[in-house]
Amino acid sequence: MKQVLLFAIVCVILVPSAYADGFSDDFSDPKLGSRMALRGEWTFKDGTASCVADPELYKKFANHGPILRWPAEFTNGTLEFEFQPKDCQRVVITLNEKGHVFRMAFSDEQRTRFFGWIGQSSKTNKPKTIAKEGVPTVDELSGKWVKSKIVFKGDAAEVTYGDYKATLKHESIGRKKGEFTISFASGEIAVRNVRLTNAD
């Protein structure tokens, strides 16, 4: 019994420090303790997580679709992943801490943009748009495996989504991050090769 208790304590200590150093998720473990797959029926097969949106669940969760979440404690570092949206209304990539920090929303031409919050997000602290022109819409990405890479260094980020590349500069980018999420509405999505390399 003592050995089991000691092992549990060691796991609790090691998991947060491991995620503070970065992480990788190849989805080989459907029940990986540090990953949450919520608001939908996620399947894990051949190194890929996938989900088809359920309209009833979308309503139940106040118009929020399925989501994958990972603890990701860092300020500077490189985040890499691939995703394949199909017939989605939107795909939203978010870095959170206490509230939202930095977000990339792929939707229609009007709503597609990258934006961030200077200071903790709230009803009174609204996000500022960082990039809009040239950012691919969700329809332009539909059916394609989109290789994604974001290199955070201070207030700047080198962003790559498929053929789209940009250097962004904004105070929100330099804020501490505590969580990485991928969510979508309508249609279906597949995600693979998620990796965070911490450079702090």
- The two structure tokens encoding residue 87: 């017939």
Strand 90-97 to 177-185 pairing: antiparallel
DSSP symbol at 137:
P
For the stretch 78-88, pLDDT in tens is 999 999 999 99
Q: Hey, which CATH number is domain 2-198, 2.60.120.560, 3.30.930.10, 2.40.30.110, 2.70.98.10?
A: 2.60.120.560
Q: Which of 161, 114, 168 is nearest to 140 (CA)?
A: 161
- How high is the pLDDT of residue 22? 86
Single-letter amino acid code for the residue at 128: K
What does the alpha-carbon distance between residue 153 and residue 43 come to, in Å, rounded to a whole number? 34
Segment 172-192 mean pLDDT = 97
Phi first, then psi: what are they for 6, rounded to 5°? -65, -40
What is the domain partition of the chain in residue ranges? Answer: 2-198
Kindly state the DSSP code that residue 172 receives in the 8-state scheme.
Answer: G
Give which of 92, 86, 127 is closest to 107, Cα–Cα: 92
The per-residue pLDDT for range 44-61, each reduced to its tens digit, is 999 999 999 999 999 999
